[in-house]
Amino acid sequence: MVDAVVSVFLEKLLNTLIEGGRIVNEFRDQFENLQKELELMRSVLKDADKRKRKEQTLQIIMGNLRELIYEAEDMLADCQLQSRENDSFSNGCLTCIHPPKLGFQYRTAKRLREINENITKIKQDLSYLGLSTSNGIAGIDMCNDPRWSSPVYDHTLVVGLEGDTKKFKGWLFEADHGILSIGVVGMGGLGKTTIAQKVFNDREIEDHFERRLWVSVSQTFDEAQIMRSMLRNLGDASVGDDRSELLRKINKYLLGKRFLIVMDDVWSTDVSWWRRIYEGLPKGNGSSIIITTRINEVARMMGVSEASIHRPKFLSKDDSWLLFRKIAFAASGGDCTYPELEQVGMEIVFKCKGLPLAIKAIGGLLLYKSHYNEWRRIAENFRDELAENDDSVMATLQLSYDELPTHLKSCFLSFALYPEDCVIPKEQLVHWWIGEGFVPVRMGRSLIEAGEDCFSGLTNRCLVEVVVKTYNGVISTCKIHDMVRDLVIKMAKDDAFFRLDGIGCRHLGIDGNMDHKKLAANRKLRALLSTTRTGEVNKIVSSFPNKLNQCRYLGVLDLCKSIFEMPLAVLLRQIGCLQHLTYLSLSNTHPLIQFPPSLEKLKNLQVLDVSYSQNLTILPPYLMTFKKLIVLDVSHCGSLDYLPKGLGRLSNLEVLLGFRPARSSQLNGCRIAELRNLTRLRRLSLHLSQSDEIEDDEVNALVNLQELQLLTISCFDSHGIDLIDKLDKLYPPPALQDLSLRYFPGKMSPVWLNPFSLPMLRYLSISCGNVAKIHQSFWGENNTVWKIEAMLLESLSELEMDWRVVQQVMPSLRIVNASWCPELTSFPIEDIGFRGGVWTKGEHKANKIVVLVTFFLGNSLVPWRNKKQTIVARSSKESKYPAFVDATFELLRLRWLLTDMDLIHSSATILHYDNRSII
């Protein structure tokens, strides 16, 4: 990934040269020479990176180049820091001849000349090895096609599993005595976990079992850790209990219940741990256990009989092609619109040997290629990879990595830090990538948007699996397949990005106890992040702060979900010395009460996250001088009353979460009016509880935030009817796309919640609160309709809405998620008064057609004999949707069937769709 290292450095160098600064300008000639040489080399670095896996000499050369670039980047950072300090002290010439500055300038100039000379030599060596740089400057392959700036297909897509699911249901529903053990055995990439997930999440399975537990068993598992994971599934966050106490608790929660436990991806043939857990489980009630493993012996040793072992089959030729085209041709709904690509695509799919993981990976790769020559090149490279390693999954993954744009390679290698089966917050990844400069930005584009695009680039290529999506399709957590993890760890080790032993790399994860020896061995560390699994915490030892202080070029520090052996003030004092920090997370840090003066030096911060720090009472005024901040997250800080004055000076803010305006009596606090100056805000969450948090002349504070896309207004623990009147006047900007109202205190929805005031709104969420009626303006007038595509309604015990009217004013609506709304009886969602469910436009159209066909064939044939009839299918008028085509074909098949049965004459049949004739 040397090409990625070079790209990141050039991005930083370009921005630094534009910003200038006295010290930077001292070395401008050297930096510009370096820039020129590297730009020329970029055209061959991708090929060199690929060839180095086979050529030892090239591997050494590329390693040397990588280290030189990192050193130049450190020097660039030092120059920026010196420039800022120099400019802040004096504008006079005396500062320039201060002895310490002279020493710095001399050392820097000397070393920059040496770096330039070494890079020139490396360029000559590459040319000698047949990698000529004379072809010109390579462009930046940023994949800026807007079609790929978000997920373009359903990440839950599976094919060919209908029979597997039916088979499992038969086993599970028939279980009665003892505990039924079922095994799913097969090679990596065959879809074992996918099958188990499909069964586990099935609605009938959910109804059948009172308790369901999913446990990911990694290769380096711990018995107590597994039991704690089981308890977390049961709602118990036990941490310090011993194994016998943990098992006793599990038994207590499951006693008398029908339960389903999935033990996913078990490797070890030593199953003594499982025997102890199994013996402690209550028996009977039709409970079941599903075990997925690559090793047949493991399943047998864990008590699975041969009759209860399911061995997934390779996908058939048709199912393989279906899965491939659903991904590779996602832009056209899974249809191949380029006939010349079909033959090449089938050739590639054949080499995947029916393995779903390989098919998805190659499909995700080709999603970004639309020309025949590109597809043919991929097919030939795939053949070469298979010749070296007859493993279609690993060959596909290696090819996918090689074909990544340079800026995505660093993002992809980030996943190496996380433990096996770890569920990873997308937000942490995006903030990390921004903080370390992995995200390229052009034309003043939003950094958050660019970071989100990088994430979509990896999910669309099927290198990252989606775990949790919100109602509107936004991905919040993810993970990677263990075979993808094998590849990413190998590539990260080869490039000194990350190593499992923690020695000689620039990125480390904190998982449990942080070994201070790793910090001592990595003084050039760039990023240190919490990578604990869900529900677990890190333990930061007392020697950690002193070792941390030695990592002077650290840019990313995430200590979320940690407990500390030392006073937090000691650690914060050392963090204040890390002046290159761009991303700092102290989320879920409960000892955090206030920021010490030492953190005032962190002027480079772009991301600051202190969310869920419940004891944080005040933020320092100096925070308002951090002009580079783009993300400030103070959400769920229950003891924080307000932010300090001056927030409006943070003009680069794109994300502000947990903003609580100061009340009229809180003179040092920030008022809501300051938000008017934050014109780059894209995401804002407000916490409003008192009417005097909004003065009459401040109700227009949001309306001109033209970049704002997502607004959350929470009124938890609000007081007074006056607040409702103020909220009715607090108009959001017209371009808003996503609105969430939580704990809204009024019985009536806000007057501004209407298609005139919010013509661009696509996603609407209303949860908790007192809303019982919808304001008349919500329904529009003069044929004005909403553009809303997805809606969430949750815990609204008195809310009344008519489903037919909702559909009329929201013709684009495709998803409704509703629960605990007992008065929404007209909504087509089962059990809406309790746990509820999801209505999806396409699925329900298909269901209506099935019901229609069943009704006609089962009940209404005889009276129609020899009569002209009209068959009506009431559904969406948008014929471009696949569901419309499916509906049409169902009706056509019905017509042909009736004609063949001589029940009606074909010329007498008219088929309609939304009262429009289609035949």
Q: What is the per-residue pLDDT across 140-188, written as a single tens digit (0 to 9) for each?
A: 454 444 444 556 666 667 787 888 889 999 999 988 878 999 999 999 8
Residues 331, 469 within the same domain = yes
Residues 60, 185 within the same domain = no
pLDDT for residue 310 is more than 60:
yes
- Could you tell me which residue, 826 or 101, shows the higher pLDDT? 826
Q: How many CB atoms lie within 10 A of CB 767?
A: 19
- Over the stretch 177-232, which tens digit does the pLDDT of each residue have? 789 999 999 998 898 999 999 999 988 999 999 999 999 887 767 888 889 889 98
- Over the stretch 647-677, which tens digit does the pLDDT of each residue have? 999 999 999 999 999 999 999 999 999 999 9
Q: Across residues 538-543, what is the average pLDDT?
A: 87
- Count of domains forming the chain: 4
pLDDT for residue 581 is more than 90:
yes
The answer to whether residue 660 is domain-embedded is no
Q: Across residues 757-784, what is the average pLDDT?
A: 93
pLDDT at 128: 84
**C-alpha atoms less than 13 angstroms from C-alpha of 661 in its C-beta half-sphere:** 26
- Could you tell me which residue, 872 or 310, shows the higher pLDDT? 310
Residues 361, 285 within the same domain = no
The answer to whether residue 670 is domain-embedded is no
CATH of the domain at 246: 3.40.50.300
Q: Is 531 helix (H, G, I), strand (E, B) or coil?
A: coil
3-state secondary structure 8-65: HHHHHHHHHHHHCCHHHHHCHHHHHHHHHHHHHHHHHHHHHHHHCCCCHHHHHHHHHH
Residues 203, 340 within the same domain = no
Last residue of one domain, picked from the residues 250, 276, 310: 310
pLDDT at 134: 55
pLDDT at 893: 43
Residues 6+ apart with CB under 8 A from 102: none
Kindly indicate the confidence band of residue 395, based on its pLDDT and cuts at 50, 70 and 90: very high
Q: Across residues 458-471, what is the average pLDDT?
A: 92
Last residue of one domain, picked from the residues 310, 330, 363: 310
The answer to whether residue 834 is domain-embedded is no
Kindly indicate the confidence band of residue 917, based on its pLDDT and cuts at 50, 70 and 90: very low
Q: What share of the chain is helix, strand, coil (3-state, %, to 5)?
A: 45, 15, 40
pLDDT at 316: 92
Least confident residue range of 324-328, 606-610, 679-683, 884-888:
884-888
Kindly indicate the confidence band of residue 502, based on its pLDDT and cuts at 50, 70 and 90: confident
pLDDT above 70: percentage of residues in the chain = 86
pLDDT at 794: 96
- Over the stretch 98-109, which tens digit does the pLDDT of each residue have? 555 677 788 888
For the stretch 63-68, contacts whose Cβ atoms lie closer than 8 Å and that sit 24 or more positions apart, written own/partner, are 63/496, 64/118, 64/122, 65/2, 65/6, 65/119, 65/122, 66/2, 66/5, 66/495, 66/496, 68/115, 68/118, 68/119, 68/122
Residues 212, 323 within the same domain = no
* 416 Rama class: left (phi>0) / alpha (psi -120 to 50) / beta: alpha
Which structural domain, as residue segments, surrounds residue 242? Answer: 173-310
Last residue of one domain, picked from the residues 434, 463, 493: 493
pLDDT at 726: 93
Q: Across residues 623-636, what is the average pLDDT?
A: 96
Q: Across residues 546-561, what is the average pLDDT?
A: 90
Kindly indicate the confidence band of residue 637, based on its pLDDT and cuts at 50, 70 and 90: very high
Which two three-digit tokens encode residue 437?
Answer: 């400069």
Residues 406, 274 within the same domain = no
The answer to whether residue 239 is domain-embedded is yes
Q: Taking a C-beta distance cutoff of 8 angstroms, is the pair 191, 356 a contact?
A: yes
Cα(835)–Cα(569) distance, integer angstroms: 45
pLDDT at 87: 58
Residues 246, 266 within the same domain = yes
pLDDT at 168: 93
Q: How far is CA 728 from the centre of its chain?
A: 34
Question: What average pLDDT does the structure give for the chain?
Answer: 84
pLDDT at 886: 44
Q: Across residues 271-294, what is the average pLDDT?
A: 91
Residues 124, 217 within the same domain = no
Alpha helices by DSSP H, 129-177: 162-174
Q: Across residues 873-893, what is the average pLDDT?
A: 39
pLDDT for residue 888 is more than 60:
no
pLDDT at 140: 45
Which two three-digit tokens encode residue 811?
Answer: 């013709």
pLDDT at 654: 97
Which two three-digit tokens encode residue 516?
Answer: 């201070």
Residues 116, 195 within the same domain = no
pLDDT for residue 761 is more than 90:
yes
pLDDT at 236: 84
CA angle centred on 81, ends 79 and 87, rounded to 5°? 95
Which two three-digit tokens encode residue 189?
Answer: 């990439």
**C-alpha atoms less than 13 angstroms from C-alpha of 557 in its C-beta half-sphere:** 29
pLDDT above 90: percentage of residues in the chain = 58
First vs last Cα of the chain: how many Å apart? 57
pLDDT at 92: 45
Residues 357, 482 within the same domain = yes
Residues 304, 325 within the same domain = no
The answer to whether residue 327 is domain-embedded is yes
Cα(312)–Cα(341) distance, integer angstroms: 30
Q: Across residues 8-25, what is the average pLDDT?
A: 81
pLDDT for residue 93 is more than 80:
no
* Helix (H) or strand (E) segment spanning residue 425: strand 424-425
Residues 298, 323 within the same domain = no
Which two three-digit tokens encode residue 715?
Answer: 């009124």
pLDDT at 363: 93
Kindly indicate the confidence band of residue 919, based on its pLDDT and cuts at 50, 70 and 90: very low
pLDDT for residue 41 is more than 50:
yes
pLDDT at 864: 33
- Could you tell me which residue, 333 or 839, shows the higher pLDDT? 839
Least confident residue range of 314-323, 491-500, 544-553, 857-866:
857-866
